[in-house]
């Protein structure tokens, strides 16, 4: 079989749309080399009529593609539709698409099950929940999220920071080895996560040679999504201090996430729990003891590299997870879930080899 | 009056010596423009005989200086001697210097009061404790460390990461607003902190475009020093999960440090406590509410820029502190303490203007 | 004596104004530590009423300054006025200032003597020529430009790229050792040269990990200014292929400029010519043979570091010059010229020590 | 059919070997996803016995591979052998391999036809010439180098800088539009080109925020190789001023190469010549008029992106070429030539989509 993939390119001003602009481009980069995909319509709003090469010249095989106006007409006749829109916009379009079309929403609209949490962090009505696109998410019954993605026709792709923090901590939650009620996560983030939004603090002259935090103090929209995932993995109460920091790299997330070792838990059991959780995962790898991940190891690859250690003196388990925010963090993860939805090999079109150094 | 400053440049292999090599160079950079200093002998070990310009060509006014062999002869006749040596070596040299000479140890030998902690983290006999060179350190009696530095003749310069984390958290400890028994600190560190050690992971090809942690899980030697400082500020028990991460910048430390809000504490009291602690400090500034520090704001300056927020949902106080690891973090802080020791204006030769963007 | 310095901050949209915004900030950074300056009014257009700290938080000693509306009222009563305006705007304001006020124009309006060249490259009427603020510029009569700056009351500050290329090549022109009719210059430029203009190609996500040229093929406005300077140094005809390239650093210009060795010239005479030209210069240094400049050596300093070599096989003299585009390239050079104009020591308030590594 | 690929990993000290170490790793990264390759023995010298994952953890699918000692035994039974050795070492090993084995030499030993030029720049005896692995190289008879690579069993892979400069200039040489006797090329180079050599100037702390030249003044070993290629394309005399500059990125070469427009040549013919030369090339693309290449556009891809302009005032044609030095510049180019040698589709296993932003 073959499928058509469709990436949307928003062009109205504002942070969200631009970030998704990048996601759309990255989806096309991977899709262009996917053995089972044929790229159909590529649409945009204000950029409709332009060639893709004029906007994303690194996608050589698609350089001559002319962007079509976004709309149901352009989307008709595809097996897969990728929505990269500002939040609030995807539900409306999805409703107009046939039920048997696989719709991947790279935005946040359909990730949360808790409408109150949605409204608190996004300030708009909840658009409903779609199957959550993190195949490795652990469930308390021992199953994994991928079982819910096989044959799915609507998929909510996770947030990039959420993927990194969830993969780092969930083995300890599922094994009852860490307390989830006082998690602290600090992330080093590349600038591509902020997309093409034209803001002074995103300029190269401000970014080069500097590190700076943002959304500090419990305001980041990824917080409820992390709470939801760790809840699925078995945590009763999840409280998290979450601080992302922009550092001078284009891609990558390095997530340092720590939680208290469960009272009475055996520190010696920690490593085994993480090893068991990811032993058979094609894209999530626990590194050999003593080797710590770097974001460069994952550049351009769909991998999440994890390491864990017990700090007995501090009474905490420390995990570090590295991903490429645009691949495993967004477009690659989306294709992994799409593969499951379409009944393709889960790894089709995705690489585990990072572009390093 | 005037003084002679002396910077040592180690040349035997190994991480410590090289890092100190940078510290020595940075001390000379600032000293060269200090109104009350005249640079005397500049010494080295294997590099003796070379010109400073061949090793540190950015120091133009000293380019023709020939490095003398390190030894008591070269050090004789100076009012100030700066030791930038591998740990274990400074005590021996200091013992041979007259008591009235101001000796600044940029290394770790004389920072810790707890000999057991020293031996646990450094694996060598404790060399004794010198007055600690962090003028802003708060004491439970309401005084500050600078009172102990006036007229001092031996000064232990703090570790760079220690300065950042201590300045971020101590107002909350001193005011009894945060619990110090479960502190979590994650730092974004520039590569100059690792100095000129020739190691593969410090190569530009590995560093560029990548973020990576090191010394994870309670092993970093700066941990007992942070515990000591927060103890001086009033904490009974200090436990800290400390994770430094290398990010692609040459200079700078961005320290995100968080602690639980003390049970029953008034969140509204937090900002006032930090503001009071630093209201009169010439180099440590609490930024206006809502403005967060970046390392670029402190580049080349002796400033530490701090911001604090309360995350009520997480029950934690979050602080972010930015410094230039080689200035406020090492050489600038050393000169600030030296100014106090010599009875000079505390701010002499030091700037608060960062080289940004 | 003392003087008031005044930095203007434009706020209307467009590349030029923003770049000057940076220049204005950098002028204040240096002026804040100048022993003979007192900073008077700091003005802006759309940012009037804001604190300087909200826009340029790295300037700590000026953080509470409130920006005044730009106008002759605010400028009254100062001994020095710095204009950082879009080209075309400075002449008008300067005309309203008393003749005895030192006016430094950081913009391009008054640099060129050739009105036709001005109109060709800038597309607007020529505003007239002011004394050119490059003290080291060689004249065919053996004098240097600084003689024309002593006591000057109007000074046109050179373009940053122009300063780098001129200083690299002029000794060979003045000594008749190189042919100026086929110069090739390629520059590696930091992003601060583009200022705070909000353009997609200036975003960190685009810049990090990438190098890209701009203004290729004879279109850059600095070309006629380089031709003018090499003419002053003695060249009859100057033709130059000039290509700037943006590389992932915030500050710095590394200018590689090459010209054919004059037919019959003695290659052995080349080094001596460059050494003689800069032997007594406080800020322009020919490095020892075999040592090549890097931009980091000049970060934050008013230095220009030069090296020269003869490529006999290619028949060309190759020069490499490193400067900090915002210091020697703009604000530092402006203060150097201002010192001459005010009869102060030429080096007052300026450092030769770079902030490296 | 399938083939075994073999990458050597040198471990003795010295710049050359380490650079090749990177090349070896990059070859494996691409080969791991090549549809017609199966990776056989991977060998090393001092690292023999180590896992590949401990040295190059970004290559996840090969992480458990144990490096075998380099030697004919390990190399036996492979269809393809890749040599990544210090120059001087590959000829000896190649001589021991069967004639029907495809041997790819990533080193310089067999690139030059002129033994005298070899000895001048490499200071060792010439090891003989192998078919040159640049498929797009133009010949005066209208053919291209790829015709000589079909069925070849020994291939000399070009130098990375050589590939960039040759592809930029050869269309003008072949069309008689530019004079090759006064070429000037200045390159912005990422640090991965210097590999893992442990040298101070390659440290991240020195590289970040800085640009610096190396091998200035006609000393770089790639010069005779460029001269050879432009000669093959039709130039009688080739003289080139060649200056590489290290800029703060891990990968990428941006080559600005300029030559005088041939006397009497029609500037309007320039663009057509470049367009014709690359119209049918799968990996070398002339960008649309006005769009200039950046290295990020080629990251991880086997593409070379070229743009050309005529600077009438300077009388020069300016070309800018961007490549990934480790892909089209080395390992990707090697696989492209290998595909031709093995009768596989020339594009097998190679992508044209860059990992950007």
CATH of the domain at C20: 3.40.50.720
Same domain, C87 and C192: no
Tell me the CATH number at C185: 3.30.360.10
**Cross-chain CB nearest to D191 (options B22, B200, B204):** B204
**Cross-chain CB nearest to A191 (options C191, C199, C208):** C208
The 10 Å Cβ neighbour count of residue B220 is: 22
Does residue C297 lie in a domain region?
A: yes
Which of the four pLDDT bands, split at 50, 70 and 90, describes residue B6? Answer: very low
Which among A116, A80, A121 has a CA at the least distance from the CA of A98? A80
Contact A303/D at CB under 8 A: yes
Contact D201/A at CB under 8 A: no
Q: What was the pLDDT predicted at C45? A: 83
Q: Which tokens in the block code for residue A238? A: 């999840």
What are the tens digits of pLDDT across the range D98-108? 999 999 999 99
Does residue B339 lie in a domain region?
A: no
Which of these is catalytic: C152, C160, C233, C308?
A: C160
- Which residues in A lie closer than 8 A to residue D352 (C-beta atoms)? 60-61
Q: What was the pLDDT predicted at B23? A: 62
- Which residues in C lie closer than 8 A to residue D318 (C-beta atoms)? 216-217, 241, 243
Q: How far apart (Å, rounded) are the C-alpha atoms in residues A213 and A209?
A: 14
Q: How far apart (Å, rounded) are the C-alpha atoms in residues A39 and A62?
A: 9
Q: How far apart (Å, rounded) are the C-alpha atoms in residues B357 and A186?
A: 25
- Tallying the residues shown for chain C, one arrives at 357
Decide: helix, strand or coil at residue D329: helix
Residue C282 DSSP symbol = S
Does residue A265 lie in a domain region?
A: yes
Asked which of A88, A115, A130 is the last residue of a domain, the reply is A130
Same domain, B120 and B209: no
* Contact (Cβ atoms closer than 8 angstroms) between residue A47 and residue A67: yes
Q: What was the pLDDT predicted at C16? A: 25
Q: Which residue of A has its CA nearest to C210?
A: A250
Same domain, A165 and A283: yes
Contact A140/D at CB under 8 A: no
- Which residues in B lie closer than 8 A to residue C63 (C-beta atoms)? 285
Does residue D224 lie in a domain region?
A: yes
Which residues of B are catalytically annotated? 160
Q: Which tokens in the block code for residue A121? A: 């962090």
Residue A136 to chain D, least CA–CA distance (Å): 18
Does residue D146 lie in a domain region?
A: no
Which among C172, C182, C177, C106 has a CA at the least distance from the CA of C337? C106
* Contact (Cβ atoms closer than 8 angstroms) between residue B335 and residue B39: no
Does residue B343 lie in a domain region?
A: no
Q: Is the peptide bond before C357 cis (omega within 30 degrees of 0)?
A: yes
* Contact (Cβ atoms closer than 8 angstroms) between residue C173 and residue C239: no
Decide: helix, strand or coil at residue A225: helix
- Which residues in B lie closer than 8 A to residue D202 (C-beta atoms)? 203-205
Q: Which residue of D has its CA nearest to A195?
A: D357
What are the tens digits of pLDDT across the range C255-303? 999 999 999 999 999 999 999 999 999 999 999 999 999 999 999 999 9
Is this complex's ipTM strictly greater than 0.90? yes
Residue B238 to chain A, least CA–CA distance (Å): 9
Q: How far apart (Å, rounded) are the C-alpha atoms in residues B249 and B118?
A: 30
What does the pLDDT average to over A255-266?
96
- Cα separations (Å) of D26 from A110, A253, D32, D301? 39, 23, 10, 12
Least confident piece of the model among A103-107, A203-207, B21-25: B21-25
CB contact under 8 A, B57 and C301: no
Q: How far apart (Å, rounded) are the C-alpha atoms in residues A8 and A68?
A: 10
Same domain, B109 and B181: no
CB contact under 8 A, C239 and D205: no
CB contact under 8 A, C353 and B33: yes
Cα(first)–Cα(last) distance of chain C, in Å?
A: 37
Contact C248/D at CB under 8 A: yes
Q: Which residue of B has its CA nearest to D189?
A: B205
Which among A313, A307, A304, A314 has a CA at the least distance from the CA of A271? A307
- Which residues in A lie closer than 8 A to residue B313 (C-beta atoms)? 218, 223, 239
**Cross-chain CB nearest to A208 (options C195, C198, C250):** C250
The 10 Å Cβ neighbour count of residue C143 is: 11
Decide: helix, strand or coil at residue C315: coil
Which residues of A are catalytically annotated? 160
Asked which of D130, D145, D175 is the last residue of a domain, the reply is D130
pLDDT beneath 50: ranges in chain C: 1-22
Q: Who's near D308: CB < 8 A, 6+ residues apart?
A: D168, D171, D172, D270, D271, D274, D286, D317, D318, D319, D320
Same domain, A315 and A238: yes
CB contact under 8 A, D199 and B198: yes
CB contact under 8 A, B303 and C61: no
What does the pLDDT average to over A248-257?
98
Which among D44, D24, D204, A296 has a CA at the least distance from the CA of B198? D204
**Cross-chain CB nearest to A203 (options C203, C210, C249):** C203
What are the tens digits of pLDDT across the range A196-236? 889 999 999 999 999 999 999 999 999 999 999 999 999 99
Asked which of C130, C151, C169 is the last residue of a domain, the reply is C130
Q: What was the pLDDT predicted at B203? A: 96
Mean pLDDT of chain A: 91
Per-residue pLDDT at B11 exceeds 60 = no
- What residues make up the domain containing B194? 161-325
* Contact (Cβ atoms closer than 8 angstroms) between residue B320 and residue B307: yes
Residue B252 to chain D, least CA–CA distance (Å): 11
Which among D162, D159, D158, D136 has a CA at the least distance from the CA of D321? D162
What does the pLDDT average to over D6-21?
30
Q: Who's near C305: CB < 8 A, 6+ residues apart?
A: B57, C285, C287, C293, C297, C298, C321, C322, C323
Pick the residue of A33, A56, A57 with the most D CBs within 10 A to test the interface with D by mutation: A57
List the chains bordering chain D where 3 or more Cβ pairs fall under 8 Å: A, B, C
* Contact (Cβ atoms closer than 8 angstroms) between residue D31 and residue D23: no
Residue B48 to chain D, least CA–CA distance (Å): 18
Residue C137 to chain D, least CA–CA distance (Å): 23
Q: Which residues does residue C156 pair with via DSSP β-bridges, in sequence order? A: C105, C132
Per-residue pLDDT at B346 exceeds 70 = yes
Does residue A120 lie in a domain region?
A: yes
Same domain, C52 and C187: no
Same domain, C108 and C195: no
Q: How far apart (Å, rounded) are the C-alpha atoms in residues C299 and D265?
A: 44
Contact D29/A at CB under 8 A: yes
Total domains in chain C come to 2
What are the tens digits of pLDDT across the range B295-327? 999 999 999 999 999 999 999 999 999 999 999
What are the tens digits of pLDDT across the range D120-178? 999 999 999 999 999 999 999 999 999 999 999 999 999 999 999 999 999 999 999 99
Q: Which tokens in the block code for residue C167? A: 């200083």
Same domain, A123 and A184: no
Q: What was the pLDDT predicted at A24? A: 79
Per-residue pLDDT at B265 exceeds 80 = yes
* Contact (Cβ atoms closer than 8 angstroms) between residue B9 and residue B33: no
Same domain, C173 and C45: no
Q: Who's near B84: CB < 8 A, 6+ residues apart?
A: B7, B8, B9, B10, B20, B21, B23, B24, B27, B106, B107
Contact B239/A at CB under 8 A: yes
Q: Which tokens in the block code for residue B310? A: 């309360």
Which among D348, D352, D335 has a CA at the least distance from the CA of D149? D335
| Ordered DSSP codes for C54-81 | HH-TTBGGGTTPBPEEPSHHHHTT-SEE
Contact D194/B at CB under 8 A: yes
Predicted TM-score (pTM) of this structure = 0.95
Same domain, D198 and D108: no
Same domain, C108 and C165: no
Q: Which residues does residue D322 pair with via DSSP β-bridges, in sequence order? A: D254, D305
Q: Which tokens in the block code for residue B258? A: 């968080």
Does residue D354 lie in a domain region?
A: no
Beta pairing, strands A3-5 & B3-5: unpaired
CB contact under 8 A, C22 and A205: yes
Q: What was the pLDDT predicted at A17? A: 24
Same domain, B286 and B181: yes
Q: How far apart (Å, rounded) are the C-alpha atoms in residues B197 and B20?
A: 10
**Cross-chain CB nearest to A296 (options B188, B210, B218):** B210
- Which residues in D lie closer than 8 A to residue C251 (C-beta atoms)? 209
Q: How far apart (Å, rounded) are the C-alpha atoms in residues B24 and B16?
A: 12
């Amino acid at each position: 079989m073959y499928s058509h993939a469709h990436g949307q390119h928003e062009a109205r001003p504002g942070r969200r749309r631009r970030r998704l602009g990048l996601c759309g481009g990255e989806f096309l980069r991977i899709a262009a080399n996917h053995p089972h995909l044929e790229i159909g319509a590529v649409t945009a709003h204000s950029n409709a009529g332009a060639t893709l090469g004029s906007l994303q010249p690194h996608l050589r095989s698609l350089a001559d593609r002319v962007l079509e106006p976004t709309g149901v007409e352009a989307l008709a006749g595809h097996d897969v539709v990728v929505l990269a829109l500002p939040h609030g916009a995807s539900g409306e379009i999805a409703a107009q698409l046939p039920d048997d079309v696989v719709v991947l929403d790279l935005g946040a609209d359909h990730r949360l099950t808790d409408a109150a949490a949605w409204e608190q962090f996004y300030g708009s009505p909840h658009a409903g929940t779609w199957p959550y696109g993190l195949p490795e998410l652990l469930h308390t019954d021992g199953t994994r999220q991928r079982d819910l993605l096989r044959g799915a026709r609507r998929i909510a792709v996770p947030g990039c920071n959420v993927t990194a923090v969830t993969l780092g901590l969930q083995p300890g939650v599922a094994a009852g080895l860490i307390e989830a009620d006082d998690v602290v996560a600090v992330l080093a983030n590349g600038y591509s996560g902020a997309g093409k939004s034209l803001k002074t603090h995103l300029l190269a002259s401000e970014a080069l040679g500097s590190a700076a935090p943002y959304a500090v103090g419990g305001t980041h929209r990824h917080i409820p999504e992390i709470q939801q995932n760790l809840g699925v993995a078995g945590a009763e109460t999840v409280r998290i201090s979450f601080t992302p920091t922009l550092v001078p790299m284009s891609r990558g997330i390095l997530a340092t996430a720590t939680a208290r070792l469960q009272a009475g838990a055996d520190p010696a059991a920690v490593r085994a729990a993480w090893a068991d959780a990811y032993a058979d995962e094609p894209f999530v790898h626990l590194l050999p003891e003593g080797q710590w991940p770097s974001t460069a190891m994952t550049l351009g690859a769909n991998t999440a590299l994890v390491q864990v250690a017990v700090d007995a003196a501090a009474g905490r388990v420390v995990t570090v997870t590295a991903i490429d925010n645009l691949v495993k963090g967004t477009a690659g993860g989306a294709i992994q879930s799409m593969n499951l939805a379409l009944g393709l090999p889960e790894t089709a079109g995705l690489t585990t080899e990072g572009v390093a150094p």
